[in-house]
């Protein structure tokens, strides 16, 4: 297969073609949220203008069309993740909700006093706080896999944490703050060895790597549509069917029941059991279209493109006076976090914005990572397949401006 013409694909993404402060936009904040291809926008507009109705409830034609669009998106996501059946795909509000769902529904039914939940030092807050909430409620204990100076998990320490009390191992596939790609299949295999439930935060992985949940062997895998070139408001929780089937619901309402009476109610099968209320139908339709678009471009080609851009950016940004890269793992995806000597990252972000360059500055909802590297915050450039060398050149020019202003 010939490689796609990535420069030509930029024409598919309307948001890229605008000016910010009189400069062409260089959008390098894709780890926070990415922009939508026209095909995704078209699918959402078509849905809203012609096909909208509530799902699963109606005998009339539009309700059936809407249901087919929504369930069609579920089937597409199932194939995209390598799940064995559509019922393993639960639509959520996003990664955060997916992890809370597992922590609340599985955790409340299965965790007891002294049980251990293993997390890692590089987790996003949304893979820390939901576990703290359920741990407090159930008397469970959180153990933490430490990071080395490159921002990689210490796997020997991880193995040392595993034992008969380990009930959950929950780790990110790719770190949003450092870009580290964790060896998830190896982590899952070790966790299974002690009978632990495995939960993977895939928010930063699905846009950049081909993910196959069957090959990873995990019980749960969560991600958000808005980082995968689709609208916000919807996310996915893959759950192994046998595990989902054994879980109680976590929210009650319409669509998640079998029979309701005042004496008691019974639950629908997964995934409906975990989708109480009217879902974000249009966003799910958009997600289905985004997956179709990405498969059309080719996930392997996207990964190769982003690797090349990351190597280009790492070299160029490292050469700017005063810059220190935070996160130098051997295996990284699409994220370049850095600090500049004596400059607050927010000042870096503001100066770059004045030159049309969008990066994120802050703790990236990963305060333990900041603590580990003894920095209050970092500036972070994060790449998508639609970025190009010109975006990175604009970033580097902006960083030279920063270095000049601060006398570095």
Q: Which residues of this chain interact with ligand PMP, rule CB under 6 A?
A: 31, 94-96, 124, 126-127, 172, 176, 201, 203-204, 224, 365
Compute, in degrees rounded to 10, the torsion defined by CA atoms 209, 286, 281, 92.
20
What is the token pair recorded at 166?
Answer: 């380990």
Smallest separation, CB 221 to ligand PMP (Å)? 12
DSSP 252-272: -STTSEEEEETTEEEEPPTTG
Based on CB atoms, which residue is closest to ligand PMP, 383 or 396? 383
Smallest separation, CB 382 to ligand PMP (Å)? 9
Task: List beta partners, residue 109.
Answer: none
Distances (CA, A) of 275 to 61, 135, 180: 22, 24, 32
What is the token pair recorded at 96?
Answer: 């955060």
CA distance 78 to 17: 33
Based on CB atoms, which residue is closest to ligand PMP, 365 or 375? 365
CA distance 138 to 112: 5
Q: Where are the beta strands (DSSP E) in 93-185?
A: 116-120, 141-145, 166-172
Based on CB atoms, which residue is closest to ligand PMP, 115 or 124? 124
Catalytic residues: 365
Smallest separation, CB 96 to ligand PMP (Å)? 3
User: How many CB atoms lie under 10 A from the CB of residue 243?
Assistant: 16
CA distance 359 to 381: 5
CA 94 to chain centre: 8
Smallest separation, CB 228 to ligand PMP (Å)? 10
User: How many CB atoms lie under 10 A from the CB of residue 3?
Assistant: 11
Smallest separation, CB 200 to ligand PMP (Å)? 10
């Amino acid at each position: 297969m010939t490689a796609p013409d990535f420069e030509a694909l930029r024409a598919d993404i309307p948001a890229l073609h605008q000016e910010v402060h009189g400069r062409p936009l260089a959008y390098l904040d894709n780890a926070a949220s990415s922009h939508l291809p026209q095909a995704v926008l078209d699918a959402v507009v078509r849905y809203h203008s012609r096909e909208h109705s509530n799902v699963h409830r109606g005998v009339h034609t539009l309700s059936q069309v809407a249901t087919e669009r929504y369930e069609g998106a579920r089937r597409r996501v199932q194939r995209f993740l390598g799940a064995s059946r559509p019922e393993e795909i639960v639509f959520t509000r996003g990664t955060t909700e997916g992890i809370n769902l597992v922590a609340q529904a599985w955790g409340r039914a299965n965790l007891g006093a002294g049980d251990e939940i293993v997390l890692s030092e590089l987790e996003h807050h949304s893979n820390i706080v939901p576990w703290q909430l359920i741990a407090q409620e159930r008397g469970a204990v959180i153990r933490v896999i430490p990071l080395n100076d490159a921002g990689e998990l210490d796997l020997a320490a991880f193995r040392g944490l595993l034992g008969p009390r380990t009930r959950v191992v929950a780790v990110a596939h790719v770190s949003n703050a450092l870009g580290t790609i964790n060896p998830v299949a190896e982590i899952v295999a070790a966790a299974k060895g002690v009978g632990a439930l495995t939960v993977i935060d895939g928010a930063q992985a699905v846009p950049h790597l081909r993910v196959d949940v069957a090959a990873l062997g995990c019980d749960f895998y969560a991600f958000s549509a808005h980082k995968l070139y689709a609208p916000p408001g919807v996310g996915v929780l893959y759950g192994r069917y046998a595990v989902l089937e054994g879980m109680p619901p976590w929210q009650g309402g319409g669509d998640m029941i079998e029979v309701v009476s005042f004496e008691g109610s019974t639950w629908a099968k997964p995934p409906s059991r975990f989708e109480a209320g009217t879902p974000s139908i249009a966003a799910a339709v958009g997600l289905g279209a985004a997956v179709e678009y990405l498969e059309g471009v080719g996930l392997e080609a996207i990964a190769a493109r982003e690797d090349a851009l990351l190597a280009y950016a790492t070299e160029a940004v490292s050469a700017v006076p005063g810059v220190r890269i935070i996160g130098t793992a051997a295996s990284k995806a699409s994220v370049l976090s850095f600090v500049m000597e004596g400059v607050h990252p927010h000042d870096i972000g503001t100066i770059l914005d004045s030159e049309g360059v969008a990066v994120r500055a802050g703790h990236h909802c990963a305060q333990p990572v900041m603590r580990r590297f003894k920095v209050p915050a970092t500036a972070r450039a994060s790449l998508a397949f639609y970025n190009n060398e010109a975006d990175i050149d604009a970033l580097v020019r902006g960083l030279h401006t920063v270095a000049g202003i601060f006398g570095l």
